[in-house]
Amino acid sequence: MSRFRALLATKSEQGSSIGWTEMAEADLMDGDVLVRVTHSTINYKDGLALTGKAPIIRKWPLIPGIDFAGEVLESSHAGFARGDRVVLNGWGLGETHHGGYAERARVKGDWLVKLPAAFSNAEAMAVGTAGYTAMLCILALEAHGVTPEAGPVLVTGAAGGVGSIAVSVLAKLGHHVIASTGRPEEKPFLESLGAREIIARDELSGTPRPLGKERWAGVVDVAGSNTLANAIAQTKLHGTVAACGLAQGMDLNTSVAPFILRGVTLCGIDSVMAPMASRVTAWNRLARDLDKAKLASLTVTKPLAEVQTLAPEIIAGKVRGRIVLEV
């Protein structure tokens, strides 16, 4: 197929627009691997790009989509051959390089991860950047000594993409998971993933104090702002907080008190430019530690054509779990 359908974001003096178009493989950007994209997904960052709520797209025209899974069609990269199943998360995909919302992608082989045999292409996108980021957070907690015996782990935005997979993996690893959500109706869903306690988002979204009662040994936070500050303030002695999102805001109204009086560690999680070794470790751990039955229970499948309709829903916090987009 020399021509293919793609969702293309364009910009002119009149403003920006996004629409479906037909492109040629020659229109793709430079790279040493050509991939037939079979599945993609929508993450919070994709929602920001498609709605224009944040300047995610920094090169025009551009195919959005920060994730894809597919099969190699052509490769001049020593690490990949025709037929290899691959997954790509980040590396500027959907920001400065044509992304996953198309039937074809040409990328650098150094960005690709060979998909573990445990996952189908669809399951890889049920994980997506959200689940891969959740695993990076869990690896950070483990690296800083957060074990099930150390105490509970808080997961904010627990019904969303990162949160739902973090809850599922942490529960399988034996952690007592406290799930924070603004959607009380999702309590049965979160309990089915393994959450032991459910708390209201409002408990953490108010004006933070420098220190609060010690409640958890670890945190996976997707919110930022006051939620992150309150989570830090209530982290136990020598606990660790992994921060990976900004759904509430980019500000952080906290003090040095939790860090110097309790020895709390704050780990920033960068999923976009994470080194290859970390990516491979994360995907291998997901293959081992993510319950595929739970992954299926938190996933819905939609055609890629619906992605623009889904974008405002994910920004509004109305999307539960993960969405797989069939290309």
CATH of the domain at 51: 3.90.180.10
Look at residue 274 and tell me if it is in a domain.
no
What is the pLDDT at residue 327? 95
Look at residue 262 and tell me if it is in a domain.
yes
For 232, half-sphere exposure in the C-beta direction (CA atoms, 13 angstrom radius) is 30
Domain end: 218, 252, 268, which one?
Answer: 268
275 cis-preceded (ω within 30 degrees of 0)? no
What is the pLDDT at residue 1? 56
Look at residue 204 and tell me if it is in a domain.
yes
Same domain flag for 148 and 212: yes
| Tens-place pLDDT, residues 52-96 | 999 999 999 999 999 999 999 999 999 999 999 999 999 999 999
What is the pLDDT at residue 110? 98
Same domain flag for 169 and 139: yes
Local confidence pLDDT in tens for the 327 residues of the chain: 589 999 999 999 888 999 999 999 999 999 999 999 999 999 999 999 999 999 999 999 999 999 999 999 999 999 999 999 999 999 999 999 999 999 999 999 999 999 999 999 999 999 999 999 999 999 999 999 999 999 999 999 999 999 999 999 999 999 999 999 999 999 999 999 999 999 999 999 999 999 999 999 999 999 999 999 999 999 999 999 999 999 999 999 999 999 999 999 999 999 999 999 999 999 999 999 999 999 999 999 999 999 999 999 999 999 999 999 999
Cα separation, 205 vs 161, in Å, equals 20
Cα separation, 217 vs 174, in Å, equals 14
Q: What CATH number does the domain containing 201 carry?
A: 3.40.50.720
Look at residue 218 and tell me if it is in a domain.
yes
Same domain flag for 27 and 140: no
Same domain flag for 261 and 302: no
Look at residue 121 and tell me if it is in a domain.
no
Same domain flag for 153 and 253: yes
Through-space distance between the first and last CA atoms of the chain, rounded to whole angstroms: 14
What is the pLDDT at residue 18? 96
Look at residue 64 and tell me if it is in a domain.
yes
Look at residue 166 and tell me if it is in a domain.
yes
What is the pLDDT at residue 289? 98
Same domain flag for 186 and 95: no
What is the pLDDT at residue 14? 87
Cα separation, 146 vs 255, in Å, equals 22
Structural domain including 217 reads: 129-268
Helices (H), the chain: 44-51, 121-143, 161-172, 187-193, 202-205, 225-233, 257-261, 276-289, 292-297, 307-315
Same domain flag for 77 and 186: no
Same domain flag for 133 and 181: yes
Return phi, psi of residue 15, to 5°.
Answer: 130, -170
Same domain flag for 100 and 203: no
Look at residue 34 and tell me if it is in a domain.
yes
Same domain flag for 166 and 261: yes
Domain end: 230, 250, 268, which one?
Answer: 268
What is the pLDDT at residue 70? 98
What is the pLDDT at residue 315? 94
Same domain flag for 101 and 198: no
Domain count, the chain: 2
What is the pLDDT at residue 279? 97
Same domain flag for 135 and 194: yes
* The 177-181 sheet, strands edge to edge: 197-200, 177-181, 153-155, 216-221, 235-243, 265-268
Domain end: 251, 268, 285, which one?
Answer: 268
What is the pLDDT at residue 170? 98
